[in-house]
Chains A and B, each alone.
Chain A
Amino acid sequence: MNEIRNRALRAALPHILIWATVAIITLLPDIQAVAIETKVPILAFLVGASVFMTLLLGIGATKIFKKLSITRVLNFYDICSIFLTIVFVWELLANKFPVLDPMIFTCPTRVFQALVVKAPILLDSAISSMFLLVCGYFLGIIVGIVTGIVVGWFKVLFRVVYPVAKLIAPIPPVVYIPFALVLLPSVMYAAIFIIALGAFWPTFANVCFATHNVDRRVIEAAKMLGAKTGTILRRVILPSVLPELFAGIFIGLILAFIMLEVAEMVGASSGLGFYILSQRLLNHYDVVAAIIVVVGILVVICTVVFDYVEARALKWKVRLGA
């Protein structure tokens, strides 16, 4: 009985939060000085979320899709509850009761308004940012993987390069921005360079070390089966360092995001980092918050794709813990 009551509560909570938020937005008066032009975006989002989540629960309960079990749906519900609580409390404290500074903290209603009103420019900025990120990130990890394997494979090279790399790697790539801006043909190249550098170091360090410590017994097996060095590097070393490689390129992804925003704030004239800075100067904190939401969504999309690729690439690995 307890279990059922528990589940019912978990299923009801986000819906209660949604409708409570809808109620305070529509019923209580706004206290912010600047009038809010439209409340449609946030209301549409909340109602849409409620409908979507009901649908999910229905699918989970009727077991139409095997992968979407009721346990997973409820897990998703719990995560939603946390975010909805934040939205509810935020709206309450910034726009309904005078607790938070209304200018800096704005309010969810305003942020959603900004998301819709500024959608075209947000989209343009996001595309521009993602272009830089993808170019820089893939450049960084590809160079990191190739050089990491080569340096790790040749013992002499490893003994010289690895200690030097260990000394240079901790320097935050941000400090090279002045040189990058002067030496490279445009701000775009400078940004790509800094992002690539952010992604490069953790990738290189992990791949290089893993290659150096690769199981020599498996290499012997490959050699006695007639594999030449090229084949060994591609078909034996590369797959055997994949777990460390993925750990490295994940840190690289996070660093690439940080470098992206920094680079855009310093030198660019487009992109989310540039946009965030320009809106701050105008005291448009609602737009700043909207941009943060967009960055958050992009990060989540990237990590979800990343996790999917990693799981596919490492499906041979038996997870003893799980």
Chain B
Amino acid sequence: MTNVIEATKLKKLFRPDDPSRLLAIDGFDFEMKEGEFVTLIGPTGCGKTTFLRIVAGFEDIQGGQILFKGKPVEAPDAKRGVIFQDIRLFPWMTVRDNILFGVKSRGIKAEEQKQKLKETMELMQLDNEALNMYPDRLSTGMRQRIGVARVLANSPDIILLDEPLNSLDWVTRDYIQTTFLKLWHETKKPILFVTHNIPEAVFVAQKVVVMTARPGKTKSVVNVDLPERRWELRRDNDHYLDLVKTTSRLVEDELSKAREVEKVVGY
């Protein structure tokens, strides 16, 4: 199988003019195969979100290379859909226009737009009543469902999730997790999920990549050999809990180092 994402010796400085400060990522190698569901986990400030932003095309890099389906990533693209932690809907558009923003921007035909809208609304359990409302009047959970819907309506080649479930209630959280697990099960669309929640990371992915403290590198990879129909898995499953423990230990090693780094660099 080909690699969807391939990063070699990646290097990212937040202040290229002053290399002593904030070396976010240094010598990071990463690869993700077609059809994989991977979570990226690590202590705060290890550069996991930065890496996701590099994959999305939002950040330039100071060394190494980043390939998406064999081609270097240069700018953001509809092929790589991002679901943000802070959602980022367009407040001046109704829910309908928010969901259809991508398809409209890419000049998709009106009939197809309608079809997409219907599909994603069903998938994210949005009713017609919500369509004409403005996002600022909706709950956070509802808004994130729309954030997911607008990306899915765009049918990206890969879905990048940047801690999207952080500020959500349990019901919505579980619902969005299940949606992605089912979506992945059905379509085998590659998903890269960045989180700092260890049980969540293990629960959803096939492969958990643990990053080191800053500057981020790959520390180790945990293969999650749980059944694919993950949404049916009980959260007290022994093997699942073992995997959570293993991952926790790996992350904990880095936590003390992360604290040291914070002290040295400061903000």
Residues of A within 8 A of B (CB): 217-218, 220-228, 231, 235-236, 239-240, 242, 315-318
Contacts and interface: CB of A to CB of B under 8 A. Distances in A.
Contact of B154 (A218, A225, A239): A225
Nearest to A315: B134
B102 interface: yes
Contacts of B81: 224-225
B130 interface: no
A311 to B, nearest CB: 14
A231 B100 CA distance: 13
10 contacts: A217-B84, A217-B86, A220-B82, A220-B88, A221-B90, A224-B57, A235-B90, A239-B93, A315-B134, A318-B136
A240 B76 contact: no
Chief secondary structure at chain A's binding surface: helix
Interface residues of B, number: 28
Nearest to A243: B92
Interface in B60-109: 75-78, 80-82, 84, 86, 88-93, 101-102, 105-106
Given A231-B105, A235-B101, A318-B136, A224 B80 contact: yes
Given A240-B92, A316-B134, A225 B86 contact: no
A225 B151 CA distance: 7
A65 B76 CA distance: 52
Contact of A227 (B88, B89, B105): B105
Given A221-B84, A225-B154, A227-B101, A317 B106 contact: no
Contact of B91 (A217, A225, A317): A317
A224 B57 CA distance: 8
Contact of A228 (B80, B92, B105): B105
Nearest to A232: B105
A251 B77 CA distance: 40
Given A316-B134, A318-B137, A223 B92 contact: no
Given A226-B106, A226-B154, A227-B105, A316 B91 contact: yes
Given A224-B81, A225-B101, A316 B75 contact: no
B225 to A, nearest CB: 32
A222 B101 contact: yes
B76 A236 contact: no
